[in-house]
Amino acid sequence: MSERLHTRVDAGAIVPGFLPRAAVAIMGAVAAFLLAPAPFSFIAAALAVAGALFPVMLGAWGCALVLALAQLGRAPDALDWRAYAALATVHLLPVLGALATVVEPSGALQLAALWRPLRRWLAIQVPAQVVLAIVLVASDVFGSGGAGDAATRWAGRHALVVAPVAGVVALVAVAAIVAFVAAIVRRR
């Protein structure tokens, strides 16, 4: 049999098409063992691997859900890095899972195609991490006093911090509601 002739397609900087799937599996498994206690870590890891092998099973979302619930199983602590890692991972897994559902594993993914999802992820993550830090600090403070007076005193002492944080939280909530309503209106 003659040697097969191949057509070479130059698409610029590319990565293998299985990269989103591999990222779901690796990131989900690593995060599962770092952020969730057993046996939830095994469940999350299994969901991540299943989501990588069969993206239409939506295993990435299942893994993200388990990681988020595992975060709720721990006491809130502003100095615990796992809370921030959980927020980042729980958001990143659906982004990668969505890519894995459409990109053929045997194909190639242009590196530039990763930029827009990454930019969107960063745009949401940066303020979200700040809000999470503030919320965790607030939880520490409110949780230790156990009384309204302590909260009032704390808020009075840190008014310069509390006011902007409350504003940001309110802004995010309003933006989410407005975007949701706008999307529904556009669809109609």
Interface with another protein by CB under 8 A: which residues? Answer: 1-12, 14, 17, 56, 58, 61, 64-65, 68-69, 71-72, 76, 83, 86-87, 90-91, 94-95, 97-99, 101-104, 106-110, 112-113, 115-117, 120, 124-125, 128, 131-132, 135-136, 138-139, 172-173, 175-176, 179-180, 183-184, 186-187
Q: Whole-angstrom Cα distance, residue 35 to residue 81?
A: 10
Nearer of residues 38 and 184 to another protein, judged by Cβ = 184
- Per-position DSSP letters for 23-61, written without gaps between them: HHHHHHHHHHHHHS-TTHHHHHHHHHHHHHH-GGG-HHH
DSSP label at 111? Answer: G
Least spacing, CB of residue 157 vs another protein, in Å: 20
Nearer of residues 49 and 95 to another protein, judged by Cβ = 95
Q: Whole-angstrom Cα distance, residue 41 to residue 131?
A: 26
CB-side exposure of 155: number of CA atoms within 13 Å?
Answer: 14
Nearer of residues 160 and 183 to another protein, judged by Cβ = 183
